[in-house]
C-alpha cells in the first residue's frame, strides 16, 4: 500500500506538470504552478471518485489506491509519445508573461524570505511530529482513515454530518496517510499554499499590477497566519480557497474577460476544474464558487467573442466545474434523497430535504470566540480578539502585514479604479471589488462564524491591495520597504513562538513515538488487526479519534458521537471490541452500564489517564 500511495501522489503530479506546460506554456511560472496545482489535485481526485462510484454501484469490491497512478501513468505515456513527434501544443498565454515593473523587487524579496522562514520553522515542527490540527484529528483525518480501511467513500450508517461532507481534500489526505508517513496528511497542503500564492499573483497581474506589486500581493497572502497554520494542518479551507483563487487567477490573467479575444478553452477547463474542486471540498465555499462561476460565465457572455462560441465555452467551464464535485451530490442523493446532505434544505411550502441546519453544524454564537459583537468585525484586523486561545492559529489571525497594508490598500484601489483607462485591468479590479463586496455580504448573512470561512475573501482583499503596494514600491521605495519588512518581522515573531516552544518540549519529553505524542496508551499500537475501538469520551475529546487508530491505522475507531449507539448495539463483527475512556472518566453509573454490556476492564498499571475495557461476550 505504501508504494502504491506514493506512486499515486507522484505520478499524477508528474503528469500534471507536463500537462500544465502544454496548456499554459513554460514562460510564466505562476501560471504553470496554478495549472499544475489544479491538474495534480484533479488527477488524484477524479480517478478515485470514479472508482468510488463503481464501488457504490457494486461493480468493484473496493477502491484501489493505484487508480490515480494508473490514470496519471497513462497520461504521462501519452504526453511523452506526443512530445517525441511534435512541439508542445500549448494554449496562447497572452498576458501571462508580461514582465512589468521591477521596482521594489528587493524589498519584496526580503519580506518573502522573512515570511518563508516562518514556513520553514513551522514545517520543521510538523515534519518531526504527527498530525495535530484540531478539526483534522477530530474528523477530517479519521474520515480519510475510514475510507482507507473500507475501500469505499460510502456515507456512514451514523449519517453524522462530520462524516458526510464532500471530501476532495480528504481523498488526497487518504493517499497521504497510505504512504505511511502520517505527517504528510498535513504537509501536502504546502502545495495548496503554492497554488494560492500563484493564483494571487496571476490575479494581481490581471489587474495590471507590475511583477513586484503582484509578488508583494503573494507575500501579503502568505503572511496571513491563517494561511501559514492551515498550510501545515488537515483543515480543508486552504485547499478549497487555493482552488478557487487559482481558478480565478488563471482565467483572469490568461485572457482578461473584457478583451476582444476568446478565452482559451483549455484555460477555461482548468479554471472550471479548480472551481469544482472547491465545491467538492466544503459547503462554506459554495457561495464563493457560485460567485466565481457566475463571474466567468458573465465575462464570457459580455466578451466580444463570436456569439456562436459563447455557449460552447460556457459549457466547457461549467462541465469542468461539475466534474470534481458531482460525485458528492449524487452520493448524498442516492443515500439520503437530499443531494446537499448533510445540509438540510427547507423552502417553506415547497421543499423539505432532511439534514442538519447550519446552526447544528456551527454554533450560531461561534463568532463570539473572535469578536465581542458583530460590529467588532470591522476592527478585527487590529484587535484579533480571541476568547479562548490568544495565539495565532488555524482558527483565526490576519496578522500585522494585513493590518498594515490591506485596509488602506483596498481604499486606494477603490479610489484609483476611476482613474484607470477602460480596459481589462480596470474591468478585473471592478469585478474583484464587486465580488469582494458581494462575498462579504454573503459571509455576513449566511456563512459567518469564523474568519477561515471567509478565506477566499481575505485573499481577494490582499490581492486588491497589490495595486497600492505596486505604486508605493515604485514611488516611495524606502518607506514602503521599511514598513513591509517591519510588518513581516513582527508577523514572523508572533507566528513562530508557539513552534519555538513546542519543539524543545518535544525534545525534552522525547515525544517521537506516536502514542507518546498523542498521550494514548501504548496498547493502542499493539491491538490485534481489525480491532474496533470505541472512543468513549465527552464530545470535547474528539482529539483522540485519529490517535486511537494506532500507528498502523489498523484500528476502526468509533467516534464519541457514535459511542453510545455502538455500546448499546455492538457492531456485528468478529473483530475484538475495545472501549477507551480518557480522564475525566465516565461516571460510576456509566461504568456499570459498560460492564453490564459485557465489557471487562483491562488493567493498565502504568496508565492513569486512560481506562480500557474489552468486550468479552459475543
Rounded to a whole number of angstroms, the minimum distance from the CB of residue 469 to other proteins is: 10
Using only C-alpha atoms, what is the Rg of the chain? 25
At 602, is the secondary structure helix, strand, or coil? strand
Question: Among 21, 98, 105, 391, which residue sits at the site for other proteins (rule: CB under 8 A)?
Answer: 391
- Given a contact cutoff of 8 angstroms between Cβ atoms, the answer to whether 392 and 399 are in contact is yes
Work out which of 490, 523, 602, 604 binds other proteins, going by CB under 8 A: 490
* Residue 477 touching other proteins (CB under 8 A): no
Position among 215, 462, 483, 549 found at the interface with other proteins (CB under 8 A): 483
If the CB atoms of residues 168 and 396 are measured against other proteins, the closer one turns out to be 396
Interface with other proteins, residue 223, by CB under 8 A: no
Regarding 431 and contact with other proteins (CB under 8 A), the answer is: no
CA-to-CA dists, residue 110 to 193, 263, 307, 465, 469, angstroms: 19, 36, 48, 19, 15
If one asks whether residue 263 binds other proteins (CB under 8 A), the answer comes out as no
Does the protein bind other proteins through residue 2 (CB under 8 A)? no
Adjacent-strand bridge partners of 345: 353
Kindly give, in sequence order, each residue whose CB lies less than 8 Å from that of residue 605, ignoring residues fewer than 6 positions away: none
By beta-carbon proximity to other proteins, the closer residue of 426 and 615 is 426
Is position 487 an interface residue for other proteins (rule: CB under 8 A)?
yes
User: C-alpha grid cell for residue 238?
Assistant: 486552504
Nearest distance, CB of residue 385 and other proteins, angstroms = 5
**Do 158 and 336 touch, CB atoms closer than 8 A?**
no
Instruction: Render the burial of 207-226: b for 16+ CB within 10 Å, e for the rest.
Output: bbbbbbbbbbbbbbbbbbbb
DSSP 280-308: TT-GGGHHHHHHHHHHHHHHHHHS-S-GG
Q: Which of 486, 522, 525, 565 binds other proteins (CB under 8 A)?
A: 486
Give the total of residues touching other proteins (CB under 8 A).
34
Q: How many Å from the N-terminal Cα to the C-terminal Cα in the chain?
A: 32
Residue 310 or 391 having the CB closest to other proteins: 391
Question: Between β-strands 532-535 and 577-582, what pairing exists: parallel, antiparallel or unpaired?
Answer: parallel
Does 408 engage in binding with other proteins (CB under 8 A)?
yes
Write down the least CB distance from residue 468 to other proteins, Å.
7
| Closest to 395 in 3D by CA, of 363, 364, 369, 362 | 369
Does the protein bind other proteins through residue 386 (CB under 8 A)? yes
Q: Does 224 bind other proteins (CB under 8 A)?
A: no
Could you tell me which residues come within 8 angstroms of residue 142 by beta carbon, excluding any fewer than 6 positions away?
A: 545, 546, 549, 557, 559
Q: How far is the CB of 372 from other proteins (least distance, A)?
A: 11
Q: Given the rule CB under 8 A, which of 69-77, 382-390, 421-429, 528-536 is the region that contacts other proteins? A: 382-390
Q: Is residue 407 near other proteins by the rule CB under 8 A? A: yes
Which of 385, 438, 522, 523 is close enough to bind other proteins by CB under 8 A? 385
> Dihedral, CA atoms, 577, 582, 588, 591, nearest 10 degrees?
0
Does an H or E element contain 557, and which?
A: strand 556-558
Select from 187-195, 400-408, 430-438, 528-536 the region that touches other proteins (CB under 8 A): 400-408
Which chain residues interact with other proteins by CB under 8 A?
381-386, 390-392, 397, 399-400, 403-405, 407-408, 411-412, 468, 471-472, 475-476, 479-480, 483, 486-487, 490, 493-494, 497, 501
Amino acid at each position: 500500500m505504501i508504494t502504491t500511495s506514493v506512486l499515486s501522489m507522484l505520478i499524477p503530479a508528474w503528469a500534471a506538470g507536463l500537462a500544465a506546460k502544454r496548456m499554459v506554456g513554460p514562460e510564466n511560472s505562476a501560471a504553470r504552478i496554478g495549472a499544475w496545482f489544479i491538474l495534480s489535485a484533479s488527477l488524484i481526485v477524479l480517478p478515485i471518485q470514479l472508482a468510488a462510484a463503481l464501488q457504490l454501484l457494486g461493480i468493484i469490491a473496493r477502491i484501489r489506491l493505484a487508480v490515480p497512478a494508473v490514470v496519471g501513468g497513462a497520461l504521462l505515456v501519452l504526453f511523452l509519445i506526443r512530445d517525441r513527434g511534435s512541439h508542445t501544443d500549448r494554449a496562447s498565454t497572452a498576458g501571462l508573461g508580461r514582465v512589468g515593473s521591477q521596482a521594489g523587487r528587493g524589498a519584496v524579496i526580503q519580506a518573502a524570505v522573512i515570511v518563508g522562514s516562518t514556513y520553514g520553522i513551522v514545517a520543521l515542527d510538523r515534519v518531526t511530529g504527527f498530525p495535530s490540527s484540531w478539526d483534522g484529528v477530530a474528523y477530517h483525518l479519521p474520515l480519510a482513515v475510514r475510507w482507507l480501511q473500507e475501500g469505499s467513500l460510502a456515507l456512514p450508517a451514523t449519517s453524522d454530518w462530520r462524516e458526510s461532507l464532500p471530501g476532495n481534500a480528504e481523498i488526497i489526505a487518504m493517499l497521504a496517510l497510505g504512504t505511511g508517513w502520517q505527517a504528510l496528511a498535513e504537509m501536502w497542503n504546502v502545495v495548496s499554499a503554492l497554488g494560492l500564492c500563484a493564483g494571487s499573483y496571476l490575479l494581481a497581474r490581471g489587474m495590471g499590477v507590475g511583477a513586484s506589486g503582484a509578488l508583494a500581493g503573494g507575500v501579503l497572502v502568505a503572511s496571513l497566519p491563517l494561511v501559514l497554520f492551515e498550510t501545515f494542518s488537515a483543515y480543508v479551507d486552504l485547499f478549497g480557497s487555493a482552488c478557487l483563487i487559482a481558478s480565478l487567477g488563471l482565467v483572469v490573467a490568461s485572457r482578461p474577460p473584457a478583451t476582444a479575444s476568446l478565452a482559451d478553452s483549455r484555460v477555461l477547463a482548468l479554471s472550471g476544474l479548480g472551481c469544482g474542486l472547491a465545491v467538492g471540498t466544503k459547503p462554506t465555499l459554495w457561495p464563493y464558487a457560485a460567485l466565481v462561476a457566475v463571474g466567468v460565465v458573465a465575462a464570457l457572455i459580455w466578451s466580444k467573442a463570436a456569439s456562436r462560441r459563447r455557449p460552447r465555452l460556457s459549457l466547457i467551464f461549467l462541465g469542468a466545474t461539475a466534474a470534481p464535485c458531482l460525485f458528492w451530490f449524487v452520493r448524498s442523493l442516492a443515500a439520503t434523497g437530499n443531494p446537499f446532505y448533510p445540509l438540510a434544505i427547507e423552502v417553506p411550502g415547497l421543499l423539505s430535504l432532511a439534514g442538519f441546519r447550519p446552526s447544528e453544524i456551527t454554533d450560531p454564537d461561534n463568532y463570539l470566540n473572535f469578536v465581542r459583537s458583530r460590529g467588532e468585525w470591522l476592527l478585527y484586523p487590529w484587535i484579533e480578539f480571541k476568547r479562548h486561545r490568544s495565539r495565532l492559529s488555524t482558527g483565526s489571525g490576519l496578522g500585522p502585514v494585513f493590518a498594515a497594508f490591506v485596509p488602506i490598500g483596498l481604499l486606494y484601489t477603490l479610489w484609483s479604479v476611476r482613474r484607470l483607462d477602460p480596459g481589462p485591468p480596470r474591468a478585473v479590479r471592478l469585478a474583484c471589488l464587486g465580488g469582494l463586496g458581494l462575498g462579504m455580504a454573503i459571509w455576513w448573512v449566511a456563512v459567518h462564524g469564523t474568519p477561515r470561512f471567509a478565506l477566499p475573501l481575505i485573499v481577494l482583499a490582499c490581492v486588491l491591495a497589490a495595486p497600492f503596494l505596486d505604486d508605493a514600491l515604485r514611488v516611495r521605495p524606502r518607506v514602503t520597504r521599511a514598513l513591509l519588512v517591519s510588518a513581516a518581522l513582527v508577523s514572523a515573531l508572533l507566528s513562530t513562538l508557539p513552534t519555538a516552544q513546542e519543539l524543545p518540549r518535544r525534545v525534552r519529553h522525547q515525544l517521537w513515538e506516536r502514542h507518546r505524542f498523542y498521550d494514548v496508551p501504548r496498547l493502542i499500537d499493539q491491538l490485534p488487526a481489525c480491532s474496533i475501538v470505541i472512543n468513549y469520551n465527552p464530545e470535547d475529546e474528539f482529539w483522540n479519534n485519529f490517535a486511537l487508530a494506532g500507528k498502523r491505522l489498523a484500528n476502526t475507531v468509533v467516534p464519541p458521537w457514535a459511542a453510545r449507539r455502538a455500546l448499546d448495539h455492538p457492531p456485528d463483527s468478529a473483530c475484538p471490541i475495545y472501549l477507551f475512556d480518557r480522564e475525566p472518566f465516565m461516571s460510576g453509573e456509566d461504568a456499570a452500564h459498560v460492564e453490564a454490556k459485557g465489557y471487562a476492564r483491562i488493567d493498565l498499571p502504568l496508565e492513569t489517564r486512560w481506562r480500557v475495557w474489552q468486550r468479552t461476550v459475543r
